[in-house]
Chain A
Amino acid sequence: MHGLINRAIQSFVCATYGQSCWLRVTEAARLGFIEFEAMLVYDDDMTARVLDALSVDLDRSQAEILEDVGTYLVSHPNMEGLRRLLRFGGVSYVEFLHSLDDLADRVRLAVSDLALPTLELRELSATEYQLGCSPGLPGYSSVMVGVLRAMADDYGALVMLSHEERYQDSDVISIMLVESAFAEGRHFDLGARNG
């Protein structure tokens, strides 16, 4: 599993539950170290052990935790850079949804060895969408639910999401757009590069 994914989980746990929780989890998962490096690749098994240990430690399901990871990735100040990259996808929430078709390619453009499953948006009507997540990365669709919810807030859109059962091998997320300009949303300045 790519270090960026492991690092995201680590960053989420430390920011949300504190360093001591992360230390307990690395101990229980028998990692043998406490820091994932973002630019190294680790055994998939390590990530699975971390998520198992985290689930036990927090007494919450992995799907719930991963949804929170998705929300964290977009909304936490630590992750402002990532939010900006996602906001490059479009000027409205609907445009952003459509840009998800290219997300895996965009990610590969930035980090060539980070392969994410492809996403496919189906537009059922102007307010109803379905996002299909290809298999390959367990829990990815749960993370995406969190990302979609947080990005809706970011754009000021009001949406209802439901994470449905597997459909022909790929997870499906249903997105109901209640109002595209529900709230102000957060500002996105093209030129406000970090550093």
Chain B
Amino acid sequence: MTDTQELAGLLETLCPMFLLVDQKGCIGQAGSTLQKLRPELPLVGQGFLDVFELIRPRTVTTVPALMSMAGAKLHLKFRDEPRTTLKGLVAPLQQSGGAVINLSFGISILDAVRDYALTSADFSGTDLAIELLYLVEAKSAAMEASRSLNLRLQGAMLAAEEQAYTDTLTGLKNRRAMDHVLGHLILTNSAFALMHLDLDFFKSVNDRLGHAAGDYVLQQAARIMLEETRSADTVARVGGDEFVIIFKGLTQEGTLASIADRLIARLNEPMMFQTQPCSISASIGTALSTQLQVLKAADILHAADLALYQAKRDGRSCHRLYSTLTNVQS
């Protein structure tokens, strides 16, 4: 008896969630922390398997089976609410035929400290429970700070994309940039030419060979446009397969026509995507800033548009000047 008392005292210091059970599985002593989980139910005198249900291994439903689990890790639950899960270890006592069963919370500790209002005094001095709780709180706080940073960075990225002047697929200027350049030229009363270029048969490449082929064609077309223009000119992709080229200070229709013809000739050459040939062409309409009485961005874009549609009507793959359209006044 005194041996049992001494053992219980020892266990209370080292592991306050212990149980001493006899060979019939009846609880003889219970650690103070474990008892704290069931203030209404004195554990001493209860049958171990009446209070706890084994989750793993599930086959253990009898006391002899429980006793045979010496040294193995057990997963168990209280049979009544709150059904806190616990980990357990059985260490048989040779002399009495009973066993020490030590329990711990495992991962359920986070809920357990809240559900049972546990304090650091409920854990033995060497238990890592407090460190675990500290770590969870510290990491959660750090994670929250990182998460809010990520959200702000994402917002900043979207804002930056909105303010960007570059078309990410082709590296050309985008519609925003084109509007900006056009506005500036008009504001400073500069003379310029505006070419509206539309790729012909692009949609069929996209439909037939897929978006990767379509993207490749757009990139090749962009490269050709950059090669055939001066660095001071603005080449912008303003729609799916629509481009606008602004030639600052260039208002000679002859020069513009030869540039347009070169562009069409080069865009007519089949491009090889992987092993597939992609055939496209281009229609171009050109208007000059000097051809409008009152220069407005929308108007010169419209003028180039009219020329482009004339080119389309004339069978595509050609260039038309706004000045040559029969039904407009210059």
Residues of A participating in the B interface, judged by any CB pair closer than 8 Å: 4, 37-40, 81-82, 84-85, 88, 90-91, 106, 109-111, 189-195
Chain A contacts for B120, CB-based, 8 A: 90-91, 190
A191-B117 CB under 8 A given contacts A85-B137, A88-B133, A88-B134: yes
Please give the distance in Å from A79's CB to the nearest CB on chain B: 11
Give the residue name and chain of the B residue nearest to A189 (CB): B117
Q: List 29 A-B contacts (CB under 8 A).
A: A39-B142, A39-B145, A39-B146, A39-B149, A40-B149, A81-B137, A81-B141, A84-B137, A85-B141, A88-B130, A88-B133, A91-B119, A91-B120, A91-B121, A106-B134, A109-B135, A109-B138, A110-B135, A110-B142, A190-B118, A190-B119, A191-B110, A191-B114, A191-B115, A191-B118, A193-B114, A193-B137, A195-B140, A195-B144
Bound complex: CA of A4 vs CA of B136, how far in Å? 18
Chain A contacts for B145, CB-based, 8 A: 4, 38-39
Bound complex: CA of A56 vs CA of B251, how far in Å? 62
Bound complex: CA of A187 vs CA of B111, how far in Å? 19
Say which size band chain B's interface belongs to.
Answer: 20 to 34
Give the residue name and chain of the B residue nearest to A4 (CB): B145
Bound complex: CA of A110 vs CA of B113, how far in Å? 21
Give the residue name and chain of the A residue nearest to B120 (CB): A91
- Whether, in the assembled complex, B262 has its beta carbon less than 8 Å from a beta carbon of chain A, the answer is no
Chain A contacts for B137, CB-based, 8 A: 81, 84-85, 88, 193-194
Chain B contacts for A190, CB-based, 8 A: 113-114, 117-120, 130, 133
Most B Cβ at <10 Å: residue of A37, A190, A192, A195:
A190
In chain B, positions 83-137 with a C-beta closer than 8 Å to chain A are: 110, 112-115, 117-121, 130-131, 133-137
Bound complex: CA of A120 vs CA of B152, how far in Å? 39
Chain A contacts for B146, CB-based, 8 A: 39
Chain B contacts for A106, CB-based, 8 A: 134, 138
Please give the distance in Å from B135's CB to the nearest CB on chain A: 6
Chain B contacts for A191, CB-based, 8 A: 110, 112-115, 117-118
Chain A contacts for B142, CB-based, 8 A: 39, 110-111
Give the residue name and chain of the B residue nearest to A188 (CB): B119
- Whether, in the assembled complex, B139 has its beta carbon less than 8 Å from a beta carbon of chain A, the answer is yes
Please give the distance in Å from B157's CB to the nearest CB on chain A: 14
Give the residue name and chain of the A residue nearest to B119 (CB): A190
Across the A-B interface, give the 8 residue pairs with the lowest CB-CB distance, nearest first.
A191-B114, A110-B138, A191-B113, A88-B134, A38-B145, A190-B113, A39-B149, A39-B146
Is A193's CB under 8 angstroms from B149's CB?
A: no
Please give the distance in Å from B120's CB to the nearest CB on chain A: 5
Chain A contacts for B114, CB-based, 8 A: 190-193
Chain A contacts for B112, CB-based, 8 A: 191
Q: In the complex, given contacts A38-B145, A109-B138, what are 18 additional A-B residue pairs having Cβ atoms less than 8 angstroms apart?
A: A39-B142, A81-B141, A82-B141, A88-B137, A91-B120, A91-B121, A109-B135, A110-B138, A110-B139, A190-B119, A191-B110, A191-B112, A191-B114, A191-B115, A191-B117, A191-B118, A192-B114, A193-B137
Bound complex: CA of A86 vs CA of B118, how far in Å? 18
